[in-house]
Structure 1
C-alpha cells in the first residue's frame, strides 16, 4: 500500500471515529488525512469505496496483530482490538444500524472471513465459524475486558483439535 493511500485510510478512520459513517463526507475524510479532496478522489470514487478499503486494511492490520500468537492469545488480541476499535465503538454508540450492516455479511464474504480465521488460528472450518461468530458478538457487545479474556481462553480450549 502506498504511503498516500495509507494516509487516506488513516484519515478515514479518524473521520469515521469522530463523525460516524453517515456524517462523514469525502471532504471531512480528506481534511482528516491532510490532503485536498481531489487527492482522495484520485484513489476512491465514493465514501463507500473508502469504507470498503478501510475494512480490508483493518483485516490486514488484525492479521499482523494476531499472527504467530497461539490461538488463545490471538483470540484475546483480536477481541481486544475489535472491542476498542474507535470506528466500531462510534458506530455502536451513534449508528447501530450502520454497525449491523457491517456485520451482516454475504455468504461469500463470510466464507472469506472464516477462511482467514481458520488460517490465522490454525483451526478447521467449523472452529473458524465458531470463532467468527464469537468475534462478531464482541463487535456488537464488547463486554468487560476480563470477561472477553476468559471467554477467549474458553473458546480456544474448545477449538483445540483433539490429540
Structure 2
C-alpha cells in the first residue's frame, strides 16, 4: 500500500529512478526519439507505472530538466567550497574536460535539450532549459565578480558559450580531443585574468 511508509518510500524510489533515467535517456536519444517505454526500461519500472508518476512525456522532460538543474546545483555547491573563485571556475572547466567522452557521443545534456526544445511551438519546455543555462551563467558571473572584474556578466557569457561551442564541435566531429584542447585553452584564459585587487 502506498499510504504506508514503505509504500511511500517505494513510490519515491520509482519516481526518482524514472527522473534519473529520463535525464540520461533524453540526453542520449533526444526528446523526439525517446518513448516512455525507453525511459521505463532504463529505470527498471513497468511502462504502465510511468503514467502514475508522469502523465505525459513533457512531464518527464520537465523532470529531466529539474534533474539537470539539481546536478548543476550539486556541482556548484561542491565548487563553492573552494576558497578561490578562480579555482572554482577552473574546477568547472576541468569537470567539462572530464566529460569529454560523453560530450563526443551526446553533446551537452542541457544544451542539446535546449536546442531541441526550441524547435517546439509551446515555448514552455525551452524556457525551462534556458533557466538551467541561466543558473550556470549567474553562478559563473558571481565568481568573476568575486575576482573583482567589472564585466563579470560578459565574462560568464564568454565562458559558457565557449563550453557550448566546444561541446557542439566535440559531438559533431565525435572528437573528445576538441574538448580537451579547448578546455585547456579556457584554463589558460582563466589563469591570465587579473588577480583580485588588480582588476582594472
Q: How large is the Cα RMSD of the aligned pairs?
A: 3.4
Structure-2 residue corresponding to 1:7 = 17
> 2:141, 2:153 within 8 Å by CA — same for their partners in 1?
yes
Shift of 1:114: 1.4
CA separation of 1:85/1:136 partners in 2, compared to 1, >3 Å: closer, same or farther? same
Distance 1:78 1:20 in 2: 20
Query: Which residue of 2 is the match for residue 89 of structure 1?
Result: 105
Give the TM-score normalised by the residue count of structure 2.
Answer: 0.59
**Who is 1:40 aligned against?**
50
Map of 1:60 onto structure 2: 70
**Residues 26 and 159 (structure 1), Cα distance of their counterparts in 2 relative to 1, 3 Å cut:** farther
Taking a change above 3 Å as real, the CA distance of residues 72 and 24 of structure 1, as seen in their structure-2 partners, is same
Change over 3 Å in CA distance of 1:6–1:84 after alignment to 2: farther
Any idea what SS the aligned residue of 1:141 has? helix
Q: 8 Å contact 1:13–1:54 — kept in the other structure? A: yes
Task: In structure 1, list runs of 5 or more residues that go unmatched.
Answer: none
Which residue among 185, 191, 198 is the counterpart of 1:151? 185
How far, CA to CA, are the matches of 1:155 and 1:103 in structure 2? 31
How many residues are treated as equivalent by the alignment? 154
Q: 1: CA distance between counterparts of 2:117 and 2:165? A: 13
Deviations 1:49-75 (A, max 9, x none): 322321331232244345325221221
Give the equivalent residue in structure 1 for 2:95. Answer: 77
Q: Secondary structure at the match of 1:3?
A: helix
CA 1:146–1:99: 2 relative to 1, 3 Å: same
Q: Which residue in the other structure is 2:115 paired with? A: 100
